[in-house]
Amino acid sequence: MRSTTPQGNCDVIQREPGQKIRIASCSLAGCFGCHMSMLDIDELVVEVVHHLEYCRGPLNDVRELRDVDVGVVEGALCNEDNVKVLEQFRANCDLLVAVGACAINGGLPAMRNHFGLTACLKEAYLDAEGVVNPEIPRDAELPRLLNRVRPIQEVVKVDYFLPGCPPPAAAFTELFTALIEGREPAFDEDMVRFD
Amino acid sequence: MTDTITIDDHQVPFEAGQTIMEAARAAGLYIEHLCYNPAYQPHGSCKLCSVKVDGVIQTACTMPAIAGQKVESDSPEMKSRRKTLVEMIFAEGNHYCAFCIKSGSCDLQALAYHLDMHENSFNHRYPVRVIDASHPDLILDHDRCIFCGLCIRASRDQDHKNVFTMAGRGKATRLAVNSETGKLGDSTIAADDAAAHVCPVGAIMPRRGAYSTPIGERYFDARGIDEIDNASGKL
């Protein structure tokens, strides 16, 4: 059993007055549904911009990652690039938040663990109906696939978990509000849903 | 004078022959459980109902109530142990709540919510199991089976058909079907059998009707498992 310290490190973020909390996000093997839910915080966004600075992620297409307070990670690990990005996030973020079913238990991408990598590639690129010029892509630019899809906490330590597919906007609201108020987030029952 | 046991801070009366679980239920006290169903003989296998009886851990569904017992159930330690067990069950099978037809009406999921499980401390096994879709009215999805044995008991004791059994040991344990081919479709199970409706998770499910209950109206959407007890056979 791995030792994780979930839901209990919010006080590590120390801010000078007027200094914003720096947030970064990424979607690994995910569908961006969690990001959509994160954007669904409605009018809180007006408050959030005064306190939080979104410094890196798919929403602003910035790749640079340093001195980040909170990293929000959506999606499972399905290729080597996912692992690299995740490790960069862990190294540069004081707190790491796993959001969504894929990040927490592999979710939909983990369904391929049933079949094995070779069988999946064969089915997708060689044998499937309607495939033209059957060939498994091998371009050096393409990240190599992992044999098995994995949740992120099997590779790095994760501080907070927001389960759900996606996590409800209320969970993000509570997370951001807690960060702004400098307290531990308290997720009500209706914010913790696996579907 | 009626004999009593103490469950946490409650004096709970019991009748001779009752288990701790039965006494607790009669007194309106909830003890977490998965493989226990009052309609069938207790099995004692899921261990979710583990309580400390005079300092020793026992399963409440099989332990007889004896006058003067001091039972610890609703304590941080026992809750934490139960949460660990639920995490192990999730890690052992393939439980994808996000698109499972039982989501919202599933005892395992409801217990995870009830025990405040947000993630899993165990690495997922992702076992390779094959769906049995051979029956015209039922689906047997081994991915979701938690080996509670309720279908075995229902089929044996209520339907008198002995359709199910447990085969293999340890991590190779699997729910097996008593038919010549091992397929559900070749067994004697019928759609209205008790065994077809007793599954507390989504392993044995009726065909047609999936996702028919909208989110918000499912069994556990409005209430916790400690309020409705178990959702066997519900969608």
Q: Is residue A8 pLDDT above 60, yes or no?
A: no
Is A98 in CB contact (< 8 Å) with chain B? yes
Q: Tell me which residue range forms the domain holding B19.
A: 4-74
Residue where a domain terminates, one of B74, B90, B117: B74
Query: Are residues B47 and B144 located together in one domain of the fold?
Result: no
Position A11 scores a pLDDT of 61
Task: Report all structural domains of chain A as residue ranges with CATH numbers, in order of start.
Answer: 10-110+146-191 (3.40.50.700)
Residue contact A151–B113, C-beta within 8 A = no
Residue of B109, B121, B126 with shortest CB distance to A194: B109
Question: Which ranges constitute the DSSP H helices of B29-135?
Answer: 76-92, 107-114
Among B150, B118, B119, B142, residue whose Cα is nearest residue B230: B150
Query: Are residues B110 and B192 located together in one domain of the fold?
Result: yes
| Residues in Cβ contact with A25 at an 8 Å cutoff, skipping those fewer than 6 apart | A35, A38, A54, A56, A57, A58, A59, A71, A72, A73, A74
Residue of A1, A161, A192 with shortest CB distance to B122: A1
Position of tokens 């065994």?
Answer: B195
Pick from A5, A7, A105 the residue to mutate for testing the B interface (most B CBs within 10 Å). A105
Confidence tier at B229 by pLDDT (50, 70, 90): low
Q: Where are the beta strands (DSSP E) in chain B?
A: 4-7, 10-13, 50-53, 56-59, 70-72, 138-140, 164-167, 174-177, 204-206
Q: For residue B70, tell me if it sits in a domain.
A: yes
Confidence tier at A5 by pLDDT (50, 70, 90): very low
Q: Is residue B231 pLDDT above 60, yes or no?
A: no
Residue of A106, A114, A193 with shortest CB distance to B128: A114
Chain B residues within an 8 Å CB radius of A189: 113, 224
Q: How far is CA B57 from the centre of its chain?
A: 19
Chain B residues within an 8 Å CB radius of A165: 97-99
Tell me the mean pLDDT in the region B124-133. Answer: 94
Residue where a domain terminates, one of B15, B40, B74: B74
Query: Are residues B129 and B56 located together in one domain of the fold?
Result: no
Tell me the mean pLDDT in the region A158-186. Answer: 94
* Chain pair A-B, CB pairs under 8 angstroms: 78
Is A107 in CB contact (< 8 Å) with chain B? yes
Query: Are residues B123 and B205 located together in one domain of the fold?
Result: yes
| Average model confidence (pLDDT) across chain B | 93
What is the 8-class DSSP label of residue B131?
A: -
Q: Is residue A138 pLDDT above 80, yes or no?
A: yes
Is A184 in CB contact (< 8 Å) with chain B? no
Q: Is residue A2 pLDDT above 80, yes or no?
A: no
Chain B residues within an 8 Å CB radius of A194: 97-98, 103, 109, 112-113
Is A157 in CB contact (< 8 Å) with chain B? no
Residue A35: in which H helix or E strand, if any? helix A33-39
Taking the C-alpha atoms of residue B106 and residue B219, their distance in angstroms, rounded to an integer, is 8
Cis peptide leading into residue A166 (ω within 30°): yes
Query: Are residues B120 and B177 located together in one domain of the fold?
Result: yes
Query: Are residues B209 and B102 located together in one domain of the fold?
Result: yes
Q: For residue B93, tell me if it sits in a domain.
A: no
Query: Are residues B212 and B120 located together in one domain of the fold?
Result: yes
Q: For residue B145, tell me if it sits in a domain.
A: yes
Task: Write out the two tokens for A19.
Answer: 């200094």
Q: For residue B203, tell me if it sits in a domain.
A: yes
Tell me the mean pLDDT in the region B100-122. Answer: 94
Query: Are residues B64 and B132 located together in one domain of the fold?
Result: no
Query: Are residues B37 and B148 located together in one domain of the fold?
Result: no
Give the residue numbers in B contacting A (CB under 8 Å), as ranges: 84, 90, 94-100, 103-104, 109, 112-113, 116, 118-124, 126, 128, 215, 224
Higher pLDDT, B174 or A12: B174
Residue contact A195–B126, C-beta within 8 A = no
CATH code, B107: 3.30.70.20
Is A108 in CB contact (< 8 Å) with chain B? yes
Residue contact A187–B109, C-beta within 8 A = no
Residue contact A4–B113, C-beta within 8 A = no
Query: Are residues B129 and B66 located together in one domain of the fold?
Result: no
Q: What's the complex ipTM?
A: 0.88
Residue contact B126–A113, C-beta within 8 A = yes
Report the number of distinct structural domains present in chain B: 2
Q: For residue B37, tell me if it sits in a domain.
A: yes
Q: Among A123-132, A148-157, B212-221, which stretch is predicted with the lowest mean pLDDT?
A: B212-221
Residue contact B124–A111, C-beta within 8 A = no
Condensed to tens digits (0 to 9), the pLDDT of residues A32-84 reads 999 999 999 988 889 888 999 999 988 888 878 888 999 999 999 999 999 99
Residue contact B124–A106, C-beta within 8 A = yes
Among B207, B203, B204, B202, residue whose Cα is nearest residue B219: B202
Residue A98: in which H helix or E strand, if any? strand A93-99
Chain A residues within an 8 Å CB radius of B103: 194-195
CATH code, B23: 3.10.20.740
Condensed to tens digits (0 to 9), the pLDDT of residues B11-55 reads 999 999 999 999 999 998 999 999 999 999 999 999 999 999 999
Query: Are residues B105 and B221 located together in one domain of the fold?
Result: yes
Q: For residue B81, tell me if it sits in a domain.
A: no
Burial B124-157 (b: 16+ CB within 10 A, else e): bebeebeebebbeebbbbbbbbbbbbbbbbbbbe
Q: For residue B82, tell me if it sits in a domain.
A: no
Q: For residue B35, tell me if it sits in a domain.
A: yes
Residue contact A113–B96, C-beta within 8 A = no
Query: Are residues B56 and B108 located together in one domain of the fold?
Result: no
Using DSSP's 3-state secondary structure scheme, residue A92 falls into helix
Position B224 scores a pLDDT of 87
